[in-house]
A and B are shown apart, each in its own frame.
Chain A
Amino acid sequence: MSNLKTKIYKGMNKVMLDCETASLFVAQKDYSKLSILNRIKLWLHLLTCKHCREFARQSRSITYYMKVLGSINENEPVHKLSDDQKKHIIEEVEKQQYTN
């Protein structure tokens, strides 16, 4: 009987993920590179672990925030690249041509 218990326990361990691996799978899933077996394992883990569910939700939020951040320009408008700055670039270009 205890032999059966050990077998069940070992079997469970093969199926159950720890949180560290589960959170890695969550990050990996964004790339849809997760095997079917690992998807099932992750799904089972997320069913029972509210912290990892929270991590998955926040991970999605962060992905979304990053994408939006990439399209927001916080810097001052740049259409006024000053004449001095343009002159500086031209000078550098001429310097380079001179040395060539």
Chain B
Amino acid sequence: MKILDTPDIAKWVDEYAAGLLKRAMFKISDTEIAKDVVQDTFLAATEKLHTFKGESSPKTWLYSILNFKIIDYYRSKARQTVSPASQSLLKFFTETGEWNDPKKPRAWEDDDSHILDDPDFRLVMRNCLEALPEKWNACISMKYYLDKKGDEICQDLGITPTNLWQIIHRSKLNLRDCIETNWYNDH
């Protein structure tokens, strides 16, 4: 059996780092964090080198480590506590559960798929996502960026399905409100 040592890792960095970073940046919007995650991937690979038996290609192995590291990142985000003010629905609904007048969803004009061709709109979207509490952002990102199923997210983040629905509900309410305020009211 071939024994792998530092030169091989160095070769892997040269060969795969760019590809890994590209993948990471699709899943994590912050470039610096994506670079850290790639570096962590190689550090973890070095540490676990003895477990790499060459059954899969180094590339496959590195990508699987990267996927774990990306989930780790979202998991740490999900551990952040959410302030009671963000949790409260009183901003959106009256005590009897009716829409609060200023927060009633209004019709959006030109709400179509082409709107995403506009970089300004994408920026508004991304800023609205960033404005969500970190925990909610992690759930939403895992759902849509990592394309994970609901029960996988619950398992990865250690939350109940009811919890996840509440988070998605509150995130949608906040995103909707943020898009309306920063895009439709400004135009």
* Residues of chain A having any CB pair with chain B under 8 Å: 18-21, 23-24, 27-28, 30-31, 33, 51-52, 54-55, 57-59, 61-75, 78-81, 85-86, 88-90, 92-94, 96-97, 100
Contact = CB atoms under 8 A, between A and B. Distances in A.
B125 A71 contact: no
Interface string B158-179: 0001000110110011011001
Interface string B23-43: 001110101000100110011
Given A67-B144, A70-B141, A81-B21, 7 more contacts: A19-B98, A59-B176, A62-B176, A81-B17, A89-B38, A89-B39, A100-B47
Main secondary structure on A side of the interface with B: helix
A58 B144 contact: no
Nearest to B146: A70
Contacts of B14: 86
Nearest to A90: B10
A24 B6 contact: no
Nearest to A80: B18
27 contacts: A18-B93, A18-B98, A19-B98, A20-B92, A23-B173, A24-B169, A27-B165, A28-B165, A30-B168, A51-B99, A55-B105, A58-B176, A59-B172, A69-B116, A69-B126, A69-B144, A70-B26, A73-B25, A73-B26, A75-B25, A75-B31, A80-B18, A89-B42, A90-B10, A90-B13, A92-B39, A96-B46
